[in-house]
Amino acid sequence: MISKNQIKLVRSLEHKKHRMAEGLFVAEGPKVVDDLLACHFRPRMIFSLSGHERWETGLIREETPVQAVTEEELRRVSFLQHPQEVLAVMEMPGQGSCLSGSSCPPPVGGLSLALDGVQDPGNVGTIIRIADWYGIDTVYCSPATADVWSPKVVQATMGSIARVHVVQCDLEKLLRETSLPVYGTVLDGENIYARKLAGEGIIVMGNEGNGISEPVRALLTERLLIPQMREGAESLNVAVATAIVCSEFRRNCLA
């Protein structure tokens, strides 16, 4: 049986201020929880539907027992419309922020993504999942980007949050300090399909409605365009655009 204090704690983690104060976040579903455990995330508490303990992988520490709950109890703590057998309260890793005045070390090679004010949690989670698919290890997030440890973002990553290093940072400072090319998709950019793309750099993706902000746009060294093949759709979803751009970079590396 879930106690009132446990319910209160889990529900409080919907809000960033409580996540940061407690150093905890919520993960739901066997796939997401298993991936986090496999990457050595530390669970504080785990709730599983009675009879569904079979999802366990043997990665759970003995001091963190799985607490069997009913469907009604799981619904009371779940952030999903349809709860998925298991919910875990996890400890945040020590990788989260460079906003206190210290500088985030800029990347020295390879590809990374930077999110400039991407506000929809589903888009942020999907972009982290895309980064994982294309072997991009790091995603930098501006302060205006949705918090990566919110339940909606974690769920949308489908476990990729366990394998992608996500850092909230002063994006302008990071881009000013890097020696790598900084790519961004803009309306006056060069056709991405006609460009030879390098195997390293920072790919900036902008806000859903306004695109890349003016201060960040001024720091782009390479301006790209995903051409529209016919009139009709006003724009591409930012996660879809990210997938197209990452695919083109990886295709160029294999060519």
Distance in angstroms (rounded) separating the CA atoms of residues 177 and 190:
24
Phi, psi of 167, deg, nearest 5: -130, 125
Longest dimension (CA), the chain: 60
**pLDDT confidence bin for 100, thresholds 50/70/90:** very low
**Residue-wise pLDDT tens digits, 75-89:** 999 999 999 899 999
**Residue-wise pLDDT tens digits, 2-50:** 899 999 999 999 999 999 999 999 999 999 999 999 998 999 999 998 7
Label residues 76-94 b or e (16+ Cβ within 10 Å = b).
Answer: bbbbeeebbbbbbbbebbe
Q: Delineate the domains of the chain, giving CATH numbers in brackets.
A: 4-91 (3.30.1330.30), 97-254 (3.40.1280.10)
